[in-house]
Amino acid sequence: MNTTQKIAGAALAAALGVTTLTACGGDAKDKDGAGSSGPASKTVTVVGHDSFNPSKEILKEFEKQTGYTVKVVKSGDAGAALNQEILTKGKPRGDVFFGVDNTLLSRALDHGIFTPYEAKGLAGVGAEYQLDKEHRVTPIDTGDICVNYDKKYFADKKLAPPQTLDDLVKPEYKNLLVTENAATSSPGLGFLLATVGKYGEDGWKDYWSKLKANGVEVVDGWEQAYNERFSGSAGGQKAKGDRPLVVSYASSPPAEVLFSEPQPAEAPTGVSTGTCFRQTEFAGLLKGAKNEAGGKAFIDFMIGKAFQEDMPLNMFVNPVVKDAKLPEIFTKHGVVIEKPENVTPDTIAKNREQWVQAWTSLVVK
């Protein structure tokens, strides 16, 4: 869900800003507390993408339970953050990495940056999210990458908003869509994968040729697409964005409501439910972590009910724990995607690089 990269998912929440926070995780007296490099540490360092934004309250709860202090290091979009961990393999910048998703999972696993750890409480996580049977990563959240639309624009034009991928290539939607670059952005890559899931190996390139001919705009990342080019967001309005369609998340409308003053009775943006790709984000214990015990404890905490129920209104993602509840603003203004497009991790692993290269040559160059 790198997302991320989210109010539309977690990216808008990043605007709240978190750099170094306090939290807790595990027993500080654990015999593994020293990790691989010295005395037991009271600090757990969590490296993540810019949208990793748990509340201060939930991190204080972690600290209260375990005595550990959590330092959060943000590293840009999910893809950029993962690249940095690959480059520092064996000498990581932290103990835990958060934010690798199912579109990038194979790349992380192939580079061997994680130490296997079967988290406590994993039995409460939906089996459909547990994609790594070796437990090198633990599923934390899920969400849907979808096209969002500006309700006012379409109402003013008396034009029905598009609902499917097929709709987006119709003449009435020419020059209306902005998406993120699949080579640099996780929602951009997720949208590419939605088209692969829908049209298959033999049809996705033809679809993108039609989308390009219909005036799709490509920008580097979610922040630029949603907050600058999209006409329906608070950021978009300030920047006078002129694109009423944007690749974002199914959770963006609740975020728009939450961050509006005063809060509107109805979300100003909608979701084209036939354009979506299901994203799941994971956390893993970094190989060479200085505080393995603290890292393990924090991963355990992340799949606890308290952390899972904290995520929706702070990171705009869905819990993966079965008994975690969504807040009312999320259920009232969010959208449940019944049939998102999907591509198996193995298929992504085998084809991602060539798909991205082909997409870049076709759409960007």
User: CB–CB of 96/284 below 8 Å?
Assistant: yes
CA distance 192 to 79: 15
Distances in whole angstroms, Cα of residue 311 to Cα of each of 286, 289, 303: 22, 25, 11
Q: pLDDT for 116-136, tens place per residue?
A: 999 999 999 999 999 999 999
* Bridge partners, 143 (sequence order): 279
Other beta carbons less than 10 A from residue 86's beta carbon: 13
Say how many C-beta atoms besides its own lie within 10 A of residue 265's C-beta.
8
The predicted model gives 336-344 an average pLDDT of 92
Phi and psi torsions of 228, nearest 5°? -115, -40
Between CA 2 and CA 333 the distance in angstroms is 22
pTM of structure: 0.81
Residue 354 CB contacts under 8 Å (≥ 6 apart), including other chains:
none
Q: Which of 130, 225, 132, 229 is nearest to 187 (CA)?
A: 225
Confidence (pLDDT) at 175: 98
Name the pLDDT band for 40 (thresholds 50, 70, 90).
low
- All CATH 3.40.190.10 domain ranges of the chain, comma separated, are 12-142+279-329, 144-278+338-364
Identify the residue with better confidence: 212 or 185.
Answer: 212
Tell me how far apart the alpha carbons of residues 196 and 203 are, in angstroms, rounded to a whole number.
8
Its CATH class, for the domain covering 144-278+338-364, is alpha beta
Tokens 């085998």 correspond to what residue?
350
Phi and psi of 359, rounded to 5°? -60, -45
Cα(77)–Cα(178) distance, integer angstroms: 18
Tokens representing 85 are: 């961990």
Q: What would the pLDDT profile of 73-106 be if each residue is shown by its tens digit?
A: 998 778 788 988 999 999 999 999 999 999 889 8
> Residue 31 pLDDT > 90, yes or no?
no
**Domain 12-142+279-329 in CATH 3.40.605.10:** no
The SS3 of residue 18 is coil
